Amino acid sequence: MKKLLMGVAALALVGCSQQTAQTGHEAGAKGTPTIAEAEAFIVDAEKQLTEMNEYGARIFWVNANFITDDTDWLATKAGADFTKLGVNLANSAKRFNDLDLPPELARKMKFLKIGLTLPAPSKEGAAEELSEISTWLGSTYAKGEIEMDGELVPRNDLEELMGTVRNPEILQEMWTKWREVSVPMGPKYQRLVEIGNEGAQELGFKDLGELWLSGYDMEPAEMAAEVDRLWGQVKPLYDQLHCYVRAGLSEEYGEDVQAADGPIRADLLGNMWAQNWGGIYPLVAPKGTGDVGYDVTELLKEKDYTPIKMAETGEAFFSSLGLDPLPDTFWSRSLFTKPRDRDVVCHASAWDLDGADDIRIKMCTKINADDFNTVHHELGHNYYQRAYKNQPVLFQSGAHDGFHEAIGDFIGLSITPQYLADIGLITQDMIPDASADTGLLLSQALDKISFLPFAYMMDNWRWQVFSGEIAPGDYNQGWWNLRTEYQGIVPPGGARPADAFDPGSKYHIPGNTPYLRYFLSFVMQFQFHKAACEMSGWEGPLHRCSIYGSDVVGEKFQKMLEMGQSQPWPDALEAFTGTREMDGSAIISYFEPLMGYLETQNQGQSCGWK
């Protein structure tokens, strides 16, 4: 479960005893505080968190892999127990606010205060109610099925179909039915926000949004401005991509389905949430140069790849950088395919069950290019988790949450034609020449650049929900206002019903996983890639660079990973890239040849939308 990657925030998902929580409260209630007492408090807190983290992680692993009423009950109880402990420790930590603490101790104290993604107030029954709602939302999402042609289709299969079906009527039907499952979530989500906000305010924050933005080694308002700056750097490229894709879809489907100007119909973009558009590449590929000569999905099938072999290939990439192989338990305890006999949470995720070496992935793996990339991404989490295992528990996370998501995707940028040749998926003579670069870059942009505004608006919506700027009765309309503003998309069939809760159709909303991390990771992965390619001595185009086999990169990479969140994130960034500021310019450098092509193709078009 991705929540287990949030460092202290993850610990909201693990269990403790009511007696333990009470002990933490009593320990913080005595006398005038001293530094010695603060040190003792942190030692005790870390002991409690370490002891209970594995217990809770195993409960949530079982719940995600065997969704039943009983495992839901266990997950609800574990979540409530730890929420109590987390709130208690955070409130107790406030006792030391006026002390001039040593830097490491102060950093640990801060993470205790901001660690809970979804804190409950300390009043009786609040933690239990919050955990019950959270578990219900997650299970409702995971168990959802959609009826198509008289048969129930799992949502995981329907998601794949969105990238291959080209009939706009069927696409609209699948898109709409997917969102029927999330309709009952609306009232529950409203209550979750009410309780979570009350918990955040008890900890001294204005609302949940301010709490979430406090984890970036800068003031929340400063961090929000930083996100705006980064979006401003890359928005011109997105605008050109949107204009180009809209024209291609209008040509494919006709103007009665997709107009040649204005927003794009969301269900036509090859993805259930229009968060990446790679599925429609065949419809918008550059004429004459769009065919790179191979299809990774078909190659994987021709070479008899299995889910295990895909994971082994991902491991081999990290091994080529000089990193140690995965432990035997990874292979015996991970979930690689969807079981036929039970409900599981199919959303791909990486797990650290013991804060040491019991690392795993959970995927309902399909043999296709998307999941080939996803395996590399999830293993990035696992290698990061193992690298910082020797840090104190309060520092066992990414330098900030965007780092964790960026690691695997940074590796994924090295899945170039040369890499595919190196691992035997294609032969050297199949590597396309420079004439195919426009197609290669467009394919990448349809996945990477299209994602940026989606990732930005996800938490922008939640920040406005948490602050009350978007009222409960306007949850869905507010969602679509932002999707149109940032992505330039609209729902098929016109305005959505008043009782719809379309945000709940995306896993991370009912799963209560902050999404800003993904936006930041998509910026940082290119920044990592550019620095790594320079480190390895690469001199060609950035999009052709693969760091596969570069132990020089691996050595520096491992040092950054081992830091965890023990230092402010600019220190970790500098350790690998030599710079202390997140920067979107590497994206512009990577896609520079494509930008020129898009601008040429868009001449005469009415780009933009209202």
Q: Which residues are catalytic?
A: 378, 508
Question: For residue 216, which of 229, 225, 206, 203 has the smallest C-alpha distance?
Answer: 225
Q: Are 411 and 317 within 8 A, CB to CB?
A: yes
| Cβ partners under 8 Å of residue 550, min gap 6 | 320, 321, 532, 535, 536
Q: Are 365 and 160 within 8 A, CB to CB?
A: no
| Cβ partners under 8 Å of residue 302, min gap 6 | none
Q: Please give the C-alpha separations between residue 166 and each of 163, 172, 274, in angstroms, as whole numbers.
A: 8, 11, 15
Q: Are 182 and 502 within 8 A, CB to CB?
A: yes
The alpha carbons of the chain give a radius of gyration, in whole angstroms, of 24
**Angle between the N-to-C axes of helices 369-387 and 307-320, in degrees from 0 to 180, rounded to the nearest 10:** 50
| Cβ partners under 8 Å of residue 578, min gap 6 | 531
Question: For residue 233, which of 590, 480, 490 has the smallest C-alpha distance?
Answer: 590
Q: How far apart are CA 599 and CA 250, in angstroms?
A: 18
- Angle at CA of residue 116, ends 11 and 231, nearest 5°: 115
β-partners of residue 153 are 146
Q: Please give the C-alpha separations between residue 460 and each of 116, 219, 346, 454, 501, in angstroms, as whole numbers.
A: 19, 17, 26, 10, 16
Q: Are 350 and 382 within 8 A, CB to CB?
A: yes
Q: What is the 3-state secondary structure (H, E, C) of 251-293?
A: HHHCCCCCCCCCCEEHHHCCCCCCCCCHHHHHHHCCCCCCCCC
Q: How far apart are CA 449 and CA 330, in angstroms?
A: 33
Q: What is the 3-state secondary structure (H, E, C) of 118-148?
A: CCCCCCCCHHHHHHHHHHHHHHHHHHCEEEE
Pairing of strands 151-154, 145-148: antiparallel
| Cβ partners under 8 Å of residue 435, min gap 6 | 289
Q: Are 399 and 572 within 8 A, CB to CB?
A: yes
What is the separation, in whole angstroms, between the first and last Cα of the chain? 38
Question: For residue 466, which of 212, 258, 152, 149 has the smallest C-alpha distance?
Answer: 212
Q: How far apart are CA 125 and CA 346, in angstroms?
A: 31
